[in-house]
C-alpha cells in the first residue's frame, strides 16, 4: 500500500542479520556497538561507540534492538558523569522497534521497546524512556528525566502531554516492520 | 496533506447515524481506529469519551513507585519520596550536595568527595538552573525530602483551614449519605465526561455521601442539601480574610512599581497549583511535589464489561484484558494514487540530483496531491482483515438523515463519490502471512469473490486501471478497492464524506466468532457445514483533502 523508500544500493551496507548501515554514517568504535538485526542507520548519523567505560576488558557501549531506525543526522552518544571523582561513560541500551527521527541527539541511559522519538529532539543524559513512550518532534528532554510507559512528551523542557492508546505496541510494531520492508534499494540499480 | 479515515462512535448522538462530516462538531464523534474499543457483549464500538474509567493503580511518573491507594490520600496525590518539580519550568529537580569547601587544591578535594556529598543538600533544576537555595529550602540529608517538605505544606494556614473545613462538614456528609446514596445508583449518564466519571467515583469512594455525578439527580440532591443546611452550625474561619487580603494588595502594588523584568512576576501557570493566596513574586515559588499518575481500567458504558484492564505493574505495557476495535473491525487505509505517483516522480528527480530546498519540496508535495476542480480522481481504500475468518465487505455512501438533508444538500453535493457497489471479500488473517506474502490462494477463494474479481479486472481492461471502481488488488488479508471522486468546476472546500462499511463474517459459534483470540478454523469445518453469517456495520469519515483553488491549479500543472 505505502510506497517504498528507496536508497541507493551503493550507500548502504547490509549485514547478515538484515541491518542496513549507511556508509555516510559515522560509526566510531564499532566493536562496542550491538545491532539487533533489521535496524537501519541512515546517512549522516553519528554513533559514538568509542566513548567506553574506562577499565580493562570488552565493554558494550551502545546496544540497539531489532527494527530500529536511527534517522539522518542523529547523534547517539553514551551519557557520562563524574562519580566519586571519576569521570566515566555509561552504556546506552535501546530496545526493539525504536525509531529516532532525523537530527535528534540522544544521550539516554535506557530506551525501552516500541519508543518513537521525533525529529530534532534532544534527549538529555541518563534519561530513562520506558516502553511505548513517544517524544514529539522538537522536544528537549532534560538530563535525568524519566518518561513513563505509554506517555507522550512534548515541549521544552519535555512534559507529559497525554496517555497513548492501549494499542500502541501493536501499532508501533507494525509501523517499524513496515518501514523496514519499505526501505529498499532503488530498483534501477539492480 | 495525506488523506485519512476515521471511525464513528455513536456515543455523542441519539441516532446511530453520524453527523454530516463538514460540521466542525462532527470531529468529536470520529476517532482513529486504534483509539477505539470494542465491547463484545454489546457488539458495539466504544471510544475514550464514552467508556467508564476506574483507577486501578497510582504511580509516580518520575520514580515509578507504585503508591498504595491508602497512602495516596495522606500524601495528597503527590509523590512522597524524592521527586520534585521545578516551579519555574516543571522539569524534575535533582538533589545535589553543596560544593565541597574550596581549599584551593582541586585534585584532592575531588577525590575526597563521597557519594553523598556535603550537606546542606538542595534541589536543582537541570533545565532552567533554578535551585531551592534561592527560596531557602535546604536539607540536612538527601533522603525523604518530600516528607520534610510536606510538613511545611501541611502547616500552611490554607491547608490547615481546608482540613478544618473538611472536619466541619464531615458530620453533615455522614448524615446526608443515607439520603444521597440511592440517587447515586441509577445508571450512569451516557454523555458524562470520563474525567467527571473517574473523579466522581473516586470521590464517592473517598468521601462518604458524595454521590456519583449524575446530571439528572442533581436537582434532587440540591433540595436535600437545603433541608440539611439548617442543622449545620456556622463555620468560623481561623484565618482572617483581612489578613489574607493584606498579604497581597499594597505590597503587590509596591512590588509591581519596582518591577524590572516581567519574569519577576510568577505566571498564572506557575501559581496555579498552589492555594489562592500565593505571592506574585517569581522568587517566592516553592518546589512542587510531583503529582501522581494513575493506570486506568475502562468499562463499557452500557453493559459495564471491562474493555481495558492493565497489569498490576505500573510500567508494564501489557493488559490483562484489552478489547480494542483494531482486533475486530477491518483497518482501512486511504490513498490517492495520483498524489502518490506525483510524489514518486518528485523523489526520483530529487535522488537524481535535482536539489530543492525543504520548504519548496513540501510545497510541491502539497501541489502534487491537490484535488483540482473539474477533474475526477480515483482513490484507493485498502481493507485489512484482523479476524481469523474471511469477511465480505459492502460499502455505501452514508446520506445524512433527517431535516438537515435539504438545507445541506447544496454544500454536500459539491463533489460526487462513487464507491464499489458490490460486496467484496477480504481473506482471513493468518500469522503465516506475516512472513510469506505471495501464497494468495491458501484459503481458497470464495466463488463470490472470484466473480467480483473478474468484474474488477474487466473494468480495468475497459477503462484503464486508474479509472476503475472495484477491486484493485488482493493479497494476504488485504483487499484494495478503488472509488472515484468527481469534483465539479466550481467546487471548493474539503472532500469529506461519510461511508457506511458493513461486513459479514462467518460464525460457527456465535459466542466466540468475533474473538480474535480464537483459533483459525480448519478448512474442512468451513466447507462441511453451512456457515452462519453475522453482520456488523460501522460508519467512517473519509477525508481526501482540500479542493485546490484556481491559482494553485496553475502552479501544479506547470511543473
Of the residues B229, B261, B277, which one is the last residue of a structural domain?
B229
Contacts of B79 (CB under 8 A, 6+ apart): B60, B62, B63, B65, B67, B146, B289, B290, B291, B292
Q: Closest approach of chain B CAs to the CA of A12, in angstroms?
A: 15
Flag whether B474 is in a domain: yes
- pLDDT tens digits along B239-266: 666 565 555 667 778 878 888 887 777 7
Phi, psi of B232 (to 5 degrees): -80, 135
**Structural domains in chain B (count):** 2
pLDDT at residue A148 tops 90:
yes
Q: How far apart are CA B534 and CA B506, in angstroms?
A: 6
Please report the pLDDT score of residue B197 as a whole number: 59
Flag whether B88 is in a domain: no
Please report the pLDDT score of residue B422 as a whole number: 85
Flag whether B291 is in a domain: no
Q: Closest approach of chain A CAs to the CA of B208, in angstroms?
A: 30
Query: Degrees (nearest 5) of the Cα angle B529, B456, B392?
Result: 30
For residues B198 and B336, membership in a common domain is answered with: no
Please report the pLDDT score of residue B144 as a whole number: 76
pLDDT band for position B109 (50/70/90)? very low
Instruction: Identify the structural domains of chain A with CATH numbers, from first to last.
Output: 5-184 (2.160.10.10)
pLDDT at residue B77 tops 50:
yes
What mean pLDDT comes out for the span B454-481?
Answer: 61
CATH code, domain carrying B28: 2.60.40.10
The residue among B298 and B170 whose pLDDT is bigger is B298
What residue in B sits closest to A132 (Cα-Cα)?
B317
Please report the pLDDT score of residue A59 as a whole number: 84
Flag whether B120 is in a domain: no
- pLDDT tens digits along B426-441: 888 876 655 544 433 3
Q: What's the full length of chain B, in residues?
A: 559
**Mutation choice for A interface testing from B34, B94, B297, B383 by most A CBs within 10 A:** B34
- pLDDT tens digits along B496-537: 888 889 988 876 554 443 444 334 433 334 344 555 778 888
Chain A interface includes B92 (CB < 8 A): yes
Q: Which residues of B touch A98 (CB under 8 A)?
A: none
What mean pLDDT comes out for the span B359-373?
Answer: 63
pLDDT at residue B362 tops 90:
no
Given an 8 Å threshold on Cβ–Cβ distance, is B315 in contact with A146? no
Q: Which residues of B529-548 are buried (b: 16+ CB within 10 A; e: fewer)?
A: eebeebebebbbbbbbbbbb
Which of A85, A114, A140 lies at the smallest CB-CB distance from B110?
A: A85
Cis amide linkage into residue B120, ω under 30° from 0: yes
Beta-carbon contacts below 8 Å between A and B: 84
Angle between helical axes of B157-184 and B218-229 (0-180°, round to 10): 120
The residue among B362 and B132 whose pLDDT is bigger is B132
Flag whether B46 is in a domain: no
Query: Is the pTM above the cut of 0.80?
Result: no
Flag whether B111 is in a domain: no
What residue in A sits closest to B472 (Cα-Cα)?
A1
Query: Which A residues in the span 130-169 are in contact with B, Cβ-Cβ below 8 Å?
Result: 130-132, 140, 142-146, 148-151, 157, 159-160, 165-169
Q: Closest approach of chain B CAs to the CA of A31, in angstroms?
A: 31
Contacts of A88 (CB under 8 A, 6+ apart): A53, A54, A80, A81, A82
Q: Which residues of A touch B35 (CB under 8 A)?
A: 165
For residues B184 and B332, membership in a common domain is answered with: no
Of the residues B179, B208, B229, which one is the last residue of a structural domain?
B229
Q: Closest approach of chain A CAs to the CA of B190, in angstroms?
A: 21
The residue among B362 and B295 whose pLDDT is bigger is B295
For residues B333 and B205, membership in a common domain is answered with: no
Please report the pLDDT score of residue B215 as a whole number: 47
Write out the residue range of the structural domain in which residue B541 sits.
4-36+326-557
For residues B333 and B453, membership in a common domain is answered with: yes
What mean pLDDT comes out for the span B303-325?
Answer: 90
pLDDT exceeding 70 applies to what percent of chain B?
62
Of B263, B294, B245, B374, nearest in space to B77 by CA:
B294
What value of ipTM does the predicted structure carry? 0.88
Flag whether B384 is in a domain: yes
Contact B321, B307 (CB under 8 A): yes
Flag whether B75 is in a domain: no
The residue among B424 and B239 whose pLDDT is bigger is B424
The average confidence (pLDDT) of chain B is: 71
Lowest average pLDDT, out of A42-56, A83-97, A150-164, B149-163, goes to B149-163
Lowest average pLDDT, out of A146-160, B46-60, B141-155, goes to B141-155
Please report the pLDDT score of residue B231 as a whole number: 62
Please report the pLDDT score of residue A85 as a whole number: 82
Of the residues B197, B229, B261, which one is the last residue of a structural domain?
B229
Amino acid at each position: 500500500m505505502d510506497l517504498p523508500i528507496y536508497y541507493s544500493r551503493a550507500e548502504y551496507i547490509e549485514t547478515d542479520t538484515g541491518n542496513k548501515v549507511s556508509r555516510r554514517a559515522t560509526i566510531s568504535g564499532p566493536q562496542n556497538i550491538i545491532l539487533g538485526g533489521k535496524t537501519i542507520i541512515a546517512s549522516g548519523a553519528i554513533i559514538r561507540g568509542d566513548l567506553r567505560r574506562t577499565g580493562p576488558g570488552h565493554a558494550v557501549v551502545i546496544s540497539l534492538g531489532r527494527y530500529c531506525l536511527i534517522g539522518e543526522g542523529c547523534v547517539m552518544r553514551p551519557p557520562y558523569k563524574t562519580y566519586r571523582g571519576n569521570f566515566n561513560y555509561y552504556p546506552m541500551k535501546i530496545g526493539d522497534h525504536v525509531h529516532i527521527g532525523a537530527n535528534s541527539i540522544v544521550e539516554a541511559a535506557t530506551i525501552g521497546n516500541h519508543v518513537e522519538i521525533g525529529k530534532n529532539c534532544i534527549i538529555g543524559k541518563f534519561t530513562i524512556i520506558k516502553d511505548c513512550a513517544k517524544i514529539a518532534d522538537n522536544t528537549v528532554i532534560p538530563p535525568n528525566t524519566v518518561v513513563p510507559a505509554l506517555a507522550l512528551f512534548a515541549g521544552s523542557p519535555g512534559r507529559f502531554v497525554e496517555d497513548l492508546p492501549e494499542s500502541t505496541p501493536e501499532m508501533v510494531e507494525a509501523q517499524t516492520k513496515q518501514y523496514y520492508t519499505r526501505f529498499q534499494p532503488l530498483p534501477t540499480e539492480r | 496533506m495525506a488523506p485519512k479515515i476515521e471511525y464513528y462512535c455513536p456515543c455523542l448522538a441519539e441516532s446511530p447515524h453520524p453527523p454530516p462530516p463538514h460540521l466542525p462538531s462532527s470531529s468529536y464523534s470520529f476517532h482513529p481506529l486504534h483509539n477505539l474499543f470494542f465491547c463484545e457483549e454489546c457488539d458495539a464500538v466504544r471510544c475514550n469519551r464514552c467508556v467508564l474509567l476506574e483507577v486501578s493503580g497510582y504511580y509516580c511518573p518520575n520514580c515509578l513507585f507504585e503508591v498504595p491507594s491508602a497512602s495516596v490520600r495522606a500524601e495528597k496525590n503527590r509523590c512522597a519520596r524524592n521527586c520534585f518539580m521545578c516551579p519555574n519550568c516543571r522539569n524534575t529537580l535533582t538533589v545535589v550536595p553543596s560544593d565541597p569547601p574550596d581549599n584551593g587544591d582541586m585534585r584532592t578535594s575531588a577525590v575526597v568527595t563521597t557519594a553523598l556529598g556535603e550537606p546542606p543538600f538542595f534541589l536543582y533544576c537541570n533545565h532552567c538552573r533554578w535551585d531551592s537555595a534561592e527560596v531557602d529550602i535546604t536539607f540536612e540529608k538527601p533522603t525523604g525530602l518530600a516528607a520534610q517538605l510536606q510538613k511545611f505544606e501541611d502547616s500552611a494556614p490554607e491547608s490547615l483551614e481546608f482540613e478544618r473545613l473538611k472536619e466541619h462538614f464531615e458530620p453533615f456528609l455522614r448524615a446526608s449519605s443515607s439520603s444521597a446514596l440511592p440517587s447515586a445508583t441509577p445508571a450512569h449518564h451516557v454523555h458524562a465526561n470520563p474525567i467527571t466519571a473517574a473523579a466522581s467515583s473516586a470521590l464517592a469512594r473517598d468521601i462518604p455521601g458524595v454521590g456519583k455525578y449524575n446530571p439528572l439527580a442533581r436537582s434532587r440532591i440540591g433540595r436535600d442539601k437545603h433541608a440539611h443546611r439548617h442543622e449545620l452550625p456556622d463555620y468560623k474561619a481561623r484565618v482572617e480574610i483581612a489578613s489574607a487580603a493584606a498579604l497581597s494588595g499594597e505590597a503587590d502594588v509596591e512590588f509591581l512599581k519596582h518591577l524590572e523584568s516581567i519574569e519577576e512576576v510568577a505566571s498564572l501557570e506557575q501559581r496555579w497549583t498552589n492555594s489562592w493566596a500565593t505571592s506574585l513574586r517569581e522568587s517566592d515559588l516553592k518546589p512542587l511535589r510531583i503529582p501522581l499518575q494513575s493506570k486506568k481500567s475502562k468499562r463499557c458504558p452500557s453493559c459495564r464489561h471491562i474493555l481495558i484492564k492493565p497489569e498490576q505493574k505500573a510500567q508494564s505495557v501489557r493488559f490483562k484484558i484489552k478489547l480494542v476495535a483494531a482486533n475486530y473491525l477491518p483497518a482501512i487505509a486511504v490513498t490517492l494514487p495520483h498524489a502518490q505517483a506525483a510524489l514518486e516522480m518528485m523523489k526520483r528527480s530529487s535522488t537524481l540530483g535535482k536539489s530543492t530546498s525543504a520548504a519548496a519540496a513540501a510545497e510541491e508535495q502539497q501541489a502534487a496531491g491537490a484535488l483540482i476542480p473539474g477533474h475526477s480522481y480515483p482513490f484507493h481504500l485498502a481493507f485489512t482483515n484482523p479476524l481469523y475468518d474471511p469477511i465480505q465487505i459492502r460499502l455505501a455512501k452514508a446520506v445524512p438523515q433527517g431535516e438537515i438533508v435539504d438545507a445541506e444538500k447544496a454544500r454536500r453535493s459539491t463533489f460526487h463519490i462513487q464507491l464499489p457497489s458490490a460486496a467484496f471479500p477480504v481473506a482471513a488473517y493468518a500469522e503465516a502471512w506475516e512472513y510469506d506474502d505471495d501464497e494468495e490462494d491458501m484459503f481458497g477463494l470464495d466463488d463470490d469473490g472470484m466473480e467480483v474479481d473478474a468484474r474488477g479486472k474487466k473494468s480495468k481492461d475497459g477503462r484503464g486501471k486508474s479509472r476503475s471502481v472495484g477491486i484493485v488488488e488482493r493479497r494476504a488479508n488485504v483487499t484494495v478497492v478503488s472509488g472515484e471522486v468527481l469534483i465539479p468546476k466550481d467546487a471548493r472546500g474539503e472532500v469529506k464524506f461519510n461511508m457506511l462499511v458493513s461486513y459479514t463474517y462467518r460464525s460457527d459459534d456465535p459466542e466466540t466468532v468475533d474473538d480474535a483470540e480464537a483459533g483459525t478454523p480448519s478448512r474442512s469445518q468451513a466447507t462441511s457445514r453451512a456457515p452462519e453469517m453475522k453482520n456488523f456495520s460501522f460508519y467512517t469519515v473519509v477525508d481526501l483533502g482540500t479542493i485546490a483553488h484556481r491559482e494553485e491549479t496553475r502552479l501544479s500543472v506547470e511543473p
